[in-house]
């Protein structure tokens, strides 16, 4: 898996959480123009523990910059212009989009 820190300083294109809170996804564009999707879920299908420390979303064409990202003990930490989000998940992956 790609090092999550490689996604720092990227442009956030979308953030998605399904209604049942079983799936989280963030799509970003890196400086070289490539798009990557980070996904988080629990392998057993249970609800994700998602905590919003702050959330700031306005009517913009983008969601700003992903300023910081880290994973510690199955907890994903995201911080950016949109605010900060903490997600506890057993499975996290990054996929390069075409």
Measuring CA to CA, how many Å separate 80 from each of 7, 14, 67, 68?
11, 13, 5, 7
- The per-residue pLDDT for range 8-65, each reduced to its tens digit, is 999 999 999 999 999 999 999 999 999 999 999 999 999 999 999 887 777 666 788 9
Q: What is the pTM (predicted TM-score) of this model?
A: 0.89
Classified as helix, coil or strand, 5 is helix
Q: How many domains does the chain have?
A: 1
Count how many Cα atoms sit within 13 Å of the Cα of residue 34 in the half-sphere of its side chain. 10
Using alpha carbons, select from 75, 76, 74 the residue that is nearest to residue 66: 76
| Per-residue pLDDT at 42 | 98
- Could you give the 3-state DSSP secondary structure of residue 19? coil
* Structural domain boundaries enclosing 33: 4-97
């Amino acid at each position: 898996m790609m090092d999550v820190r490689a996604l720092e300083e990227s442009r956030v294109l979308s953030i998605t959480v399904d209604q049942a809170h079983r799936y989280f996804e963030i799509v970003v564009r890196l400086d070289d123009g490539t798009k990557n999707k980070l996904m988080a879920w629990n392998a057993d299908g249970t609800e994700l523990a998602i905590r919003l420390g702050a959330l700031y979303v306005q009517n913009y064409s983008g969601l700003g910059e992903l300023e910081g990202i880290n994973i510690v003990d199955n907890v994903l930490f995201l911080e950016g212009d949109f605010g900060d989000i903490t997600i506890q998940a057993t499975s996290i992956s990054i996929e390069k989009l075409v």
